[in-house]
Amino acid sequence: MWLSRYILARIGEDFGVSIEFEPKPISNGDWNGSGCHTNVSTNKTRAEGGLKYITDTLMPLLGAKHSEHIVLYGEGNYKRLTGKHETASIDKFSFGVGNRGCSIRIPTYTVNKGLGYYEDRRPASNIDPYLVSAAIVDTTVLNSKYMG
């Protein structure tokens, strides 16, 4: 991601344009902004019973750490996460199947297969991918109660 951003900025220079990574660079307006949705899967989510593990174990863990994650999920993200325009509210954690208005979307593919991945829709376009990844891994994978 860092390399892609660098290349995009250099290409922009060649064409006399600057690249903006803010989640909602034009605050006025009735639109959803720019996110960096993060798809997550592990061996457990991709194994038999993965959907149940996602809904019954991971979603409560992520919900409990919602405020801590939001702090790391991009500067100015409050402009984007309004609860409108296929975004969740920044103040409330939610998840749902195929629902683009939730904090976490569980794809219909995952539900149909009973295993797979989930999509964290909260991160903004200007995230530090290492901080977001670390928060998700710390909350879900490294949570000692669920490592076994």
Reported as a single tens digit per residue, the pLDDT across 115-130 is 999 999 999 999 999 9
Could you tell me the pTM of the whole model? 0.88
pLDDT band at 85, cuts 50/70/90?
confident
| pLDDT at site 30 | 76
- Domain layout of the chain by residue ranges: 23-146
Residue 148's pLDDT is 42
Does the domain formed by 23-146 have CATH 1.20.120.50? Answer: no
Whether 114 has a pLDDT exceeding 70, the answer reads yes
pLDDT of residue 86: 86
Average pLDDT score over the chain: 92
CA dihedral for 65, 67, 73, 79, sign (positive or negative)? positive
In the predicted structure, residue 98 carries a pLDDT above the cut 70 = yes
